Amino acid sequence: MESSSYWTAFLVFASINLALLLFASTITASVSPAAGGSGIPEVKAYLNGVDAPNIFSLKTLAVKVIGNAAAVSSSLHVGKAGPMVHTGACIAAIFGQGGSRKYGLTCRWLRYFKNDRDRRDLVTIGASAGMTAAFRAPVGGVLFALESLSSWWRSALIWRSFFTTAVVAVVLRLFIDLCGTGRCGMFGEGGLIMYDVSTLFDDLMTYHLKDIPTVILIGVIGAVLGGLYNFLMMKVLRLYNIINERGRVHKLLLAAAVSILTSCCLFGLPWFAPCRACPMATAEPNGACGSLNRFRRFHCPPGHYNDLASLLLNINDDAIRNLYTTGTNDVYHPGSMLAFFVASYALGVLSYGVVAPSGLFVPIILTGATYGRLVAMLLGPSSDLDHGLVAILGSASFLGGTLRMTVSVCVIIVELTNNLLLLPLVMLVLLISKTVADSFNSSIYDLILQLKGLPHLDGHAEPYMRQLAVGDVVAGPLRSFNGVEKVGHVVHILRTTRHHAFPVIDEPPFATAPVLYGLVLRAHLLLLLKKREFLPVQERYPKEYSIEGRFEAQDFDKRGSGKQDTIDGVELSAEEMEMYVDLHPFTNASPYTVVETMSLAKALILFREVGLRHLLVVPKACDRSPVVGILTRHDFMPEHILGLHPVLLGSRWKRLRWQKGAVTKYFRSLIVSLANRS
Amino acid sequence: MESSSYWTAFLVFASINLALLLFASTITASVSPAAGGSGIPEVKAYLNGVDAPNIFSLKTLAVKVIGNAAAVSSSLHVGKAGPMVHTGACIAAIFGQGGSRKYGLTCRWLRYFKNDRDRRDLVTIGASAGMTAAFRAPVGGVLFALESLSSWWRSALIWRSFFTTAVVAVVLRLFIDLCGTGRCGMFGEGGLIMYDVSTLFDDLMTYHLKDIPTVILIGVIGAVLGGLYNFLMMKVLRLYNIINERGRVHKLLLAAAVSILTSCCLFGLPWFAPCRACPMATAEPNGACGSLNRFRRFHCPPGHYNDLASLLLNINDDAIRNLYTTGTNDVYHPGSMLAFFVASYALGVLSYGVVAPSGLFVPIILTGATYGRLVAMLLGPSSDLDHGLVAILGSASFLGGTLRMTVSVCVIIVELTNNLLLLPLVMLVLLISKTVADSFNSSIYDLILQLKGLPHLDGHAEPYMRQLAVGDVVAGPLRSFNGVEKVGHVVHILRTTRHHAFPVIDEPPFATAPVLYGLVLRAHLLLLLKKREFLPVQERYPKEYSIEGRFEAQDFDKRGSGKQDTIDGVELSAEEMEMYVDLHPFTNASPYTVVETMSLAKALILFREVGLRHLLVVPKACDRSPVVGILTRHDFMPEHILGLHPVLLGSRWKRLRWQKGAVTKYFRSLIVSLANRS
């Protein structure tokens, strides 16, 4: 740039960006596609009980770390907070599945974690550690996991996650101290000293009662912008999905296109901004403005700076710090701010869907800060609020508008700026923006969850569920096994269905009438078939049948992701197919059951609160088969229910979002009661 | 004191204390005994689903506020944090029961809160607001409610509580600013500026890696002292219960005795401490030492102070601030500190059980701070830690040792001292003290819960529950109703039992065979009887029976505490007793049921996670009555189960606390597997 060979500079800039992003996209597309995107929706689904494959494997971990580093350094408008959360969850999940036997990283003590609940707890703790690492905010990390990720929470989990995040905060601080003294070589100081605005002009962080309307306005506009952001993001993601489905080449072409567009924006837009003299006479000998704000000279003569370049051509963390710095009200031009806002908004929407590990948080914070500063500039002298403070409020409102997070954002911002005085103001902004935006659409993570087709089950029952009974949504036909079943029948059922659990029904001579014995899992049936625990025909009803010594508890451990046994791996001879297997010792004799006339809403509450995967439906009267069906989470999904009963689609019970039905009902009952009294 | 008439001074001091405490005890014993003590165990039980009567009435609220103010000002060694939590919960509960119709403080909009879940949410929010008001720590208040009080938590509850606590913090700060300018008259500055140690000598709040063993030692000793505190407190409370049961006069006598003992200690002990010259030449003209530390001159000549009097004769908040202040290593004498520690410990154990609203927090913090300073003095020059910092760690370890709170204490301390650097150190101390103390006994709130006989249900199943089925603990006989039942039978059952719910069984002609229809509540039966919804004998099976227009939804609202209907209030004529009542429209047709062979542990998980009050037990085979029994929380209590099956008392399954059985089992299986391999 010094030698004014601008096209060369642009080519160098764009080609480095392109190379880095193509590298990130290539490793994501070929090695582990599950590492693409933010990772937070996948973690949220896992913590809800959805066993999505491969989201926590070692490959995913490696691709996530390397790919995200490459994507962010390619100047793409993405962040690193979401990938850090996924990384933390991966590391925790690898502990939870007992290390990796393939790579020799295992330990006998880890086998106590090989069950669903401990794995989920570990992933929750890992996710909160990841968020803490991203923002150096221990309490905020725990509250983020509590508020946005986890579906179930226990008291014991709180202090465990908190201790983890405290350790993360300490280690981070150690590194900051270490690198601050210059011993980190290439790392330098930049990456780790984040948002250290607490020491700058604290006196300007004041507000008065008359600023409340301004704050409310910021909240409402943030909500509208956030809802629009979600809407546009969904449209773009659907379009990208269509493109990406065509093959790997298309994915790379899309990534290349986005990268070139980003480079053009970042390099091209600052040309439209005027050059300004360095503020406060901070000009240095080499012509740059010496200041913490890292003003960029770009094409300006020495002693001047380009404010748009100072925002666009800085890393996201520095740009955010620039915007948050108090006492810098006149550093930026409104025109530049508007241009940067539009560019940031558009690039944010367009960049996330690229096949590479990318995050949403920091771009949203940056966009919100820009919008905040813009509002402050437009308000001008009618408001006493410092522009840096309004930028913080703008970030908060935009985060509330897109991600619908309240408490965690509040605590993270307070921990970042180390200023407890901001707490009520930020809380107010978040509350307003979340409430207003919730009337438009869901949070972006929920929308992405739906887009990916992950069956996330909410805790509250939809209104139309109250009109349905369990028997109305049970889908047949039901496959069940006898207490002592023929091997060939077992193999046939396992091959022809995809269910993961089957009821076991005892017939004579085990019981006088057919009665439900319990529930047996596919994984355990496959284990039985592998171990060939068969009985010949004549010994079908053994007097004494003991499995002691033939199995270990570890055999029944839940496998880690990506290591499921399949029926295709089982080969049996024709003679073995004729033998029998006794399912009684391997059946769960205490399954949860509901009567078929039970309200669907109540069954959902049971299913969700206890954290089940299968719920047996038994008949009301005793004259039929002892089991009517099995419910899984797919039976509770709105698509399934409304598909079975389309009449509910137009029902006034369905739309609770607008509260229209409830308001109408209230007025109707009011009028009726008034009429009755007269 | 100036005129050296010490006996007069003592008499004045002791009589004022006695009068205040007797006033507090009198109003507690006569107006509302439920207001005695801390209130946190009652709130915790309520949030677990226990409907203890009268804990949230207006009378309790008034007595709690006035009584606690009187008790604390009577120099009794109690605190105000627990009563503030109860006060906040009371206010919230009064909103939850729709205001108070008796006193005209009601509003139609509040009737939407008249259900169990919203009431519980409101009480949780109120309790967190109370804790915030006590320590001016918004995040700490929410985490306290989350960690120590609530049994169920929803995501939506987090931001609602957080907003409430943020408002509390703002209002507090407004008052502090207001009173700081001297406009509060008698209130002055003292009461509201709490623990403002953040501005004093922040540089001394440093620590190094070599201090970790010291910290661990503090944690372990704090745990031992805390466990001992719990043990002694339980003994004292049992003794006080025996005394208090004898009548009101005994309660007042006990309170008087404790008050006189406290006055003697507070006035008598400083005589043993030497007088010292005012530090740093801060002597004022009137002879007192001018300093924020509020040194007390007591009987010393002018320009001197008595360090033990400075601790004993200050209010608790000032004493804590004295101990936390950094840079005051040589202000206190080790002998005085030891005397104060023993006095504080003993008075804390003895004072809580007095019949008056009293708290535990602040005395524990004070005792812990003293213990911390003592440890720092004993360590002497071998440790670089500032004594104020060690006092903070001592408080944390003692809180962890008695109350077993981790995250909330950590956040409260960080918010109090406004110093994020302390976070990891405090976390480490809390972790160690909680873990060590958990091997001795439960937290003091859990012990008080057991002492009061409140049936708090834990979330995790005891080990011996895995050996039992539901049918093993169901207690008979079972009272049930027909779908259309005779009024006289209903009245008889309601009079002779104390159950709150009854199964409704349909017999011919409603069904071909006896089948379970649902569950009906006592409260709804009483409503039916009051409204006289009866049918004459000949119309027992009406073709069309509609209750439209005869009932409103509000009639079925759950009443507030203390307003339960009873069967004694129902008077029916002999003719009405012969009539019939149709229970079908008032029965819950979707009750939760379990099969009698279900594992008791699994039934407990269902009961607890869904938050039930009654769980119907149905038979496995179809040849008996359609209902075997009903489970309530009393059936899950250890006393009930072990009473039915005393053989489990000596079972190795019972004691999980010592982990002895698990360790033995592990070694046994290890040996077996080794033997099998050889």
Q: Which residue in the set B138, B427, B594 is minimally distant from A163, CB to CB?
A: B427
Which residues in chain A touch residue B155, judged by CB atoms under 8 angstroms apart?
146-148
Query: Minimal Cα–Cα distance from B671 to chain A, Å?
Result: 13
CA of B6 vs chain A CAs: smallest distance (Å): 47
Please answer yes or no on whether A595 and B595 come within 8 Å at the CB atom: no
3-state helix, strand, coil in chain A (%, to 5): 60, 5, 35
List chain A residues with pLDDT less than 50.
186-202, 653-663, 678
B170: nearest CB among A424, A605, A622: A424
The structure tokens 């642009």 sit at A10
Residue B250, SS3?
helix
Residue of A nearest to B416 (CA): A420
Distances (CA, A) of A232 to A220, A353, A441: 18, 12, 12
User: Dihedral sign, CA of A402, A404, A408, A414?
Assistant: positive
pLDDT at B226: 94
Q: Which of B100, B61, B99 is nearest to B83 (CA)?
A: B61
Look at residues A326, A459, A9 and name the one whose alpha carbon lies nearest to residue B155. Answer: A459
Q: Which residue of A has its CA nearest to B673?
A: A549
pLDDT of B542: 60
Listed residue (A454, A561, A448, A558) closest to A59, CA to CA: A561
Exposure letters A562-597 (e unless 16+ CB within 10 A, then b): eeeeebeebebeeeeeebbbbbbebbbbbbbbbbbb
Q: Rg of the Cα trace of chain A?
A: 30
Whole-number pLDDT of residue B571: 80
Answer yes or no: do A621 and B153 touch at CB < 8 A: no
Report yes or no: A623 and B628 within 8 Å, Cβ to Cβ.
no
Contact residues, chain B, for A676 at CB < 8 Å: 549
* Interstrand relation of B515-521 and B580-582 (parallel, antiparallel or unpaired): unpaired
| Element holding A501 (H helix, E strand) | strand A501-506
pTM for this one?
Answer: 0.84
Compute, in degrees rounded to 10, the torsion defined by CA atoms B655, B659, B661, B665. 150
Alpha-carbon distance values, B382 to A17, B214, B338 (Å):
56, 10, 20
Q: B518 by DSSP, 3-state: which?
A: strand
- Determine the pLDDT at residue A285: 55
Distance (Å) from the C-alpha of residue B608 to the closest C-alpha of chain A?
Answer: 9
What confidence score (pLDDT) does residue A236 get?
A: 94
Distances (CA, A) of B676 to A109, A177, A266, A597, B284: 21, 55, 69, 52, 84
- All residues of chain B having their beta carbon less than 8 Å from the beta carbon of residue A609 are 609-611
* B499-508 long-range contacts, CB within 8 A, separation 24+: B499/B630, B500/B613, B500/B614, B500/B632, B501/B613, B501/B614, B501/B630, B503/B478, B503/B591, B503/B616, B503/B627, B503/B630, B504/B480, B504/B583, B504/B584, B504/B587, B505/B480, B505/B481, B505/B625, B505/B626, B505/B627, B506/B482, B507/B482, B507/B483
Mutation for A interface: B423, B472, B506, most A CBs within 10 A: B423
Using a CB-CB distance cutoff of 8 angstroms, which residues of chain B are in contact with residue A595?
593
Chain A interface, best mutation among B457, B588, B595, by max A CB count within 10 A:
B595
Of A162, A170, A610, the CB nearest to B609: A610
**Nearest Cβ partner for B598 among A138, A406, A590:** A590
C-alpha–C-alpha distance, residues A662 and A654, integer Å: 11
Chain B residues in contact with A606 by the CB 8 A cut-off are 592, 606, 610
In a mutagenesis test of the A interface, which of B144, B162, B198 is the best target, namely the one with the most A β-carbons within 10 Å?
B162
pLDDT the model gives residue A326:
67
- Whether A592 sits inside 8 A of B599 (CB atoms) is no
Q: Which of B411, B515, B606 sits opposite A620 (nearest CB)?
A: B515
Chain A residues near residue B594 by CB distance under 8 angstroms:
592-593
3-state helix, strand and coil shares in percent for chain B, rounded to the nearest 5: 60, 5, 35
Cβ of B515 and A605 within 8 Å? no
A399/A147 Cα distance (integer angstroms): 14
Query: Diameter of chain A by CA atoms?
Result: 99
Q: Return the residue in B592, B607, B668 with the most chain A beta carbons within 10 A, the one to mutate for interface testing.
A: B592
Whether B593 and A594 lie within 8 Å, measured CB to CB:
yes
Residues B648, B651, B653, B657, CA torsion sign: positive
Residue type at B256 in one-letter notation: A
Check residue A182 and give its pLDDT: 62
Nearest Cβ partner for B420 among A153, A418, A511: A418
Q: For B26-78, give the secondary structure using H, E and C.
A: HHHHHCCHHHCECCHHHHHHHHHCCCCCCCCCHHHHHHHHHHHHHHHHCCCCC
Do B606 and A610 lie within an 8 Å CB cutoff?
A: yes
DSSP code of residue A462: P
CB contact under 8 A, A606 and B593: no
Nearest CA in chain B to A601: B590
Nearest CA among B398, B444, B473 for reference residue B223: B398
What's the one-letter identity of residue B345?
A: Y
Handedness of CA B103, B45, B594, A595 (dihedral sign): positive
> Does B621 sit within 8 Å of A515, measured CB to CB?
yes
Give dist(CA B603, CA B630) in Å, integer.
12
Mutation site for A-interface testing, chosen from B399, B407, B505 by largest number of A Cβ within 10 Å: B407
d(CA B270, CA B265): 8
CB-based burial label for B336 (10 Å; 0-12, 13-18, 19+) = buried
- Bridge-partner residues for A487, per DSSP? none
Select the residue of B139, B158, B620 nearest A146 (Cβ to Cβ). Answer: B158
State residue B200's pLDDT score.
43
Q: Scanning every residue of chain B, which has its alpha carbon at the shortest distance from the alpha carbon of A137?
A: B420
What is the DSSP-derived secondary structure letter of residue A466? G
Successive 10-residue mean pLDDT values, chain B, 678 residues: 73 90 92 89 91 85 93 89 94 78 62 77 94 87 89 82 85 74 52 44 57 86 94 94 90 92 88 75 56 65 75 78 72 84 93 91 91 86 77 91 88 76 81 90 90 85 84 84 88 88 86 86 86 72 63 67 66 83 88 90 89 89 83 88 80 44 50 53
Q: Say which amino acid occupies A63.
A: V
A215: nearest Cα among A422, A444, A71, A367: A422
Q: Quick check: B138 and A549 CB within 8 A?
A: no
A with B: how many residue pairs have Cβ under 8 Å apart? 120
